[in-house]
Structure 1
Amino acid sequence: MTDPTYDQELHARRASSFGPHAAAYAEHRPDYPLAALDWGLAGAAHPAQDVLDLAAGTGKLTQGLVDLGLTVTAVEPDAGMLAQLAKLLPDTTALSGKAEDIPLAGESVDAVFIGQALHWFDWEPAFAEIRRVLRPGGVVVALWNHDDVEVEWVVEFSKLVRGGVTRVALAENRTLDAAGFAPFEEHQFPHSHRRTIDSLLATVATHSNLLVADPADRDAALAAARDYLHSVPTTSSGEFDYPLITTALRARKV
């Protein structure tokens, strides 16, 4: 019989696996499309200026919010990830903290953004904290970049290297009901990431399922993925756009 604590333990290992690989994460993970950020901000009852990037990682989403001219505070629990963010955005306030205990005053921000991280949260206390720091009419926005499954070669590549966390997270969070928030809305945005075979494999090597995998299994998966990419005309001869979809969920504080 499967140990009933196994999934919980694996989830915790994957959630905490990124820090030692923060530099690679910063170099290889994709950003988020401007249209998705604008759509998220439009969910607030009033124009947003003060924004929290929660579980900000190395600043992939933070950078986009800063580029919009917003006043951004980044909160991230992992010291290695936070150090990369501070290197990227030295003028942005970056604080150590977690979703379940946000180091901000009550009603201090107009929007809370969460990039590629909501599925790691303890949802009930996290949403209580998000609601606490949001001003009346503020909005919470969760974003995920994931493979475009309408593209056949992407689907086949994904079977070789993906762990399914994003797909499970999207399925679960689409039914999310958070106390004190209006029903969540969803929208999807086309996106892409300019890659080579080497840089795409470096990107997927930063995903939690491979970070916690047995080294031999990880190397075998990456080798099989490399062989497959060399067989695909789109990817075998230099740079290419890796097709992504960005799914965004937003809900207004009520």
Structure 2
Amino acid sequence: MEERKSFGTAAAAYAEHRPDYARAAPRWAVASAPGPRVLDLGAGTGKLTASLVALGLDVVAVEPDPAMLTELRRALPSVRALRGSAEAIPLPDGSVDAVVAGNAMHWFDMAVAGPEIARVLAPGGVLAGLWNVLDDHVEWVAELGRVAGAVVVGPRDTVTGWRAATADPHLPGGPPARFGAPEHAEFPHGQRRTAESLVSTLATRAGVLVLPARDRRAVLDRIRVFLTSDPRTGRGEFTLPMWTGVLRVRRL
């Protein structure tokens, strides 16, 4: 199974355990958009959609996976939610002022998705990707990344690596529209977890979901032993230090 197609197998767990986004991050992502019409592309279970709705924006969500879309519609029944993908967006030309993607833009085939995004964006519209990343400047978080391995915590998943890992390969280029220079910002964030609930969160990572069952258990057991044996994480609730990173470009 392709990693980007793996999330539907854990849609309910994704909805329960994945974090939302730092409150200031979605606001910054769309701050320079010419209007309130926003497309949440690759919306998953609606984690980012909910934050955009809370800003009073006119939001439509597009998600390719039916199980993820079901969770989104259950959580946000008032939101217009459509089956579709970044490569085939079911919206008219110039119909949105911003396209945002929460922990999703790296899955897009930008050779196809770039022209599609440009098509649905109004002139001057904004494209923004948001990623929740671990604060590996914190000692135990950096150690967690080493214990978990790259299949769980890759360069894109840490505050020290996300900019480089989500730069040019995840931006559209060429016709039919040009985009301006990328802008970056990071916003402090955190998620209250226990050792077991953090294991459950990491179990929803794509690299974990596609592992054979035996290998998946081994990885998660290794993480569980690390978390439960460390006094900073093994004694009830703690805050997982995070950042929400935002990459933003404007359609010219």
What TM-score does the superposition give when structure 2 sets the normalisation length?
A: 0.91
Alignment partner, residue 180 of structure 2? 182
Equivalent-residue separation in structure 2 for 1:18 and 1:110 (angstroms): 28
1:207 is the counterpart of 2:200:
no
Instruction: Name whichever of 232-241 and 77-86 sits farther off.
Output: 232-241
Spell out the pairing of 1:1-254 with structure 2 (5 A cutoff). 13-44=2-33, 46=34, 48-161=35-148, 162-164=152-154, 166-167=156-157, 170-175=163-168, 176=171, 178-179=173-174, 180-254=178-252
Q: 1:20 to 1:177 in 2, by over 3 A?
A: closer
| Matched residue SS, 1:149 | coil
| Matched residue SS, 1:101 | coil
Residues 11 and 68 in structure 2, CA contact (< 8 A), matched pair in contact too: yes
Following superposition, the deviation at residue 178 of structure 1 comes to: 2.6
Residues 43 and 251 in structure 1, CA contact (< 8 A), matched pair in contact too: no
Equivalent-residue separation in structure 1 for 2:155 and 2:116 (angstroms): 24
Q: Percent identity?
A: 49
Residues 136 and 142 in structure 2, CA contact (< 8 A), matched pair in contact too: yes
| Matched residue SS, 1:229 | helix
Equivalent-residue separation in structure 2 for 1:169 and 1:105 (angstroms): 32
| Matched residue SS, 1:245 | strand
Residues 177 and 184 in structure 1, CA contact (< 8 A), matched pair in contact too: no
Equivalent-residue separation in structure 1 for 2:49 and 2:172 (angstroms): 26
Q: 1:116 to 1:249 in 2, by over 3 A?
A: same
Equivalent-residue separation in structure 1 for 2:104 and 2:155 (angstroms): 10
- Name the amino acid aligned to 2:120: V
Unpaired stretches in structure 1, ≥5 consecutive residues = 1-11
- Name the amino acid aligned to 1:108: S
Unpaired stretches in structure 2, ≥5 consecutive residues = none
Equivalent-residue separation in structure 1 for 2:92 and 2:172 (angstroms): 24
Residues 109 and 138 in structure 1, CA contact (< 8 A), matched pair in contact too: yes
Equivalent-residue separation in structure 2 for 1:214 and 1:159 (angstroms): 21
Equivalent-residue separation in structure 2 for 1:98 and 1:216 (angstroms): 32
| Matched residue SS, 1:22 | helix
Cα offsets for 1:208-253 (capped at 9, x unmatched): 1110112111111111111111222221111111011111000111
Following superposition, the deviation at residue 163 of structure 1 comes to: 4.6
Instruction: Name whichever of 70-79 and 118-127 sits farther off.
Output: 118-127
User: What number of residue pairs does the alignment pair up?
Assistant: 241
Cα offsets for 1:133-157 (capped at 9, x unmatched): 1111110110111110101111111
Alignment partner, residue 9 of structure 1? none
Residues 147 and 226 in structure 2, CA contact (< 8 A), matched pair in contact too: no
Cα offsets for 1:164-208 (capped at 9, x unmatched): 273577424323463311011111111111111111000000001
- Name the amino acid aligned to 1:117: A
Instruction: Name whichever of 21-30 and 161-170 sits farther off.
Output: 161-170
Equivalent-residue separation in structure 2 for 1:158 and 1:75 (angstroms): 31
| Matched residue SS, 2:19 | coil
